[in-house]
Amino acid sequence: MIVPKPARFETRLGRFVLDRETALAADPALGEVAAWLRGELSPVTGGQLLPGRPGPGTITLGLDDLAPEAYRLTVAPDGIEIDAGGPAGAFYGAQTLRQLMPAAAFRRGAAGGPLELPAVHVQDAPRFAWRGAILDVARHFMTKGDLLRFIDLMAVHKLNVLHLHLSDDQGWRIEIKRYPRLTEVGSWRKESQVGWMGEMDGRPHGGYYTQDDVREIVAYAARRHIRVVPEIDLPGHTQAAIAAYPELGNLDTPIEVSGTWGIGSNVLNVEDATIAFFKNVLDEVLELFPSPYICVGGDECPKDQWRTSPSAQRRIRELGLRDEDELQSWFIHQFDDYLAARGRRLVGWDEILEGGLAPGAVVASWRADLGAVAAARSGHDVINCANTSVYFDYRQSERDDEPVPFGTVLTLDDVYAFEPVPAELRGDPAAAHVLGAQCGIWTELIDSNRRIDYMAFPRLAAFAETVWSGPERDLPGFRARLAAHLPRLDALGVEYRHESGPLPWQTRPGVPGRPEDPDAWQATIDAWTSNLRNAR
């Protein structure tokens, strides 16, 4: 009962006994995968899973003429073979092998001993190249240890992109040596709002990753075939940076790191010095993150300060721009050119469609499907991040005791029904521009690792299947496989949401969420739709 569902799965006669006598043989190119698998299986078998030769009683990892992420797994009574197109495929084959074991084998410190694995033949490959999760560590910081644990959970589900939201109004989370105040000042806020509209909690909150932390995180993820894509949000969502360096903003008065949620009014100015500042920031970011994709946000940037700024208005006149939307487009273009010159590609949220799209940009489309359709048809690659389908900060039921009562209801079934290719693009050659999709774990109201567990799982398992497996949906089949998968999550210590609702220790009643005003919500959606249609 494998999650996500393999392309082909056949049961065969017999069983393989995995014990302390089992050996592991691997093509030299798959040595790192072999080392990882040995580390996972040796505690389970009670032995060291010593290197051996292909043959009876051996797990063999080999290369074959397959796509890089594709694999074949054969478990027979006399041995196990994983043939793959490359290290990533071998790793995914090894993850499938683990899911053939009893759920208790996933528990750290599980007692070692012989395990019987069913004989099977699996042929598998992912549908999409981009299978990601957005993790917002800016609103609520996540320790390095907890982040590494989340990477392991992504790997179990064969996701391969971790989009780290590292900066926002409420915090700056990455050490930049040239600008130390970004973390000295920008990584801490005095207090945080309770709920979306609640009182302040009076507790300082903060933290950041040193550059050595980042190197460790990136390397740890790479060994699990997960690419870490950093996001430094600009020109909006920048109050923490402006609090650290007031000259980046549009006001003459100092401001603090924000402790409230929503769209902040403080945005970057458009001076040459500010653009140079963030290029210097990105110089250090690029050294730490080898990802060919770098996200610069571009979302939810209010233009009020630019409308009253003599400097911004002068820039509009000098450049012959139509309005502030085109000014933002010009601003984003500066970083598109900067990244392209260094062999990287800019990723931005779908607001970058408004006012003109930077030539080489990849669009992370979050406001329903219109942005994805517009970007793909104009020749731009797209990552589908539709908030209506894959935002895991949204509530999971109408129950009053949901611990994070925010947004519209997004159930497990709703997530499983998600299709990364918008309906308007199906059958259109432009659909080839859909690289894949990402689920979003935004943490304004998710203030602990335990809450992340509850909000992400098991919805992340449903999402993983939408980006790995074929476009067909089989909800009863998925639920049957999920029933076998949940004990694995239990063994891994994941405090997921149960079908019956939150368990007694998971509830947190009385926390205000987004006001349930259908007219206001619809007005927001109508505004998004109008802006995106105009951009097309």
Tell me whether residue 300 is one of the annotated catalytic residues: yes
CB 312 within 8 A of CB 338: no
Q: What residues pair up with 430 in beta bridges, in sequence order?
A: none
Catalytic annotation, pick one of 205, 225, 237, 333: 237
Handedness of CA 97, 103, 108, 113 (dihedral sign): negative
Gap between the Cα atoms of 155 and 136, Å rounded: 18
Active-site position among 64, 213, 284, 300: 300
Packing angle, helices 144-156 and 211-223, rounded to 10: 20
Which contiguous run of DSSP H or E holds residue 188?
strand 188-189
d(CA 368, CA 372): 8
Residue indicated by tokens 């609520």: 140
Q: What tokens does 327 get?
A: 């000014």
End-to-end CA distance of the chain, in Å?
44
Locate 395 and state its tokens.
């509530």
For 521, the token pair is 């919500």
- What residues contact residue 301 under an 8 Å CB cut-off, 6+ apart? 235, 236, 237, 267, 328, 351
Q: Are 165 and 135 in contact (CB under 8 A)?
A: yes
Catalytic residue among 168, 231, 402, 447: 168
Q: Annotated catalytic, 428? A: no
Instruction: Identify whether 351 is a catalytic site residue.
Output: no
Active-site positions read 168, 237, 300
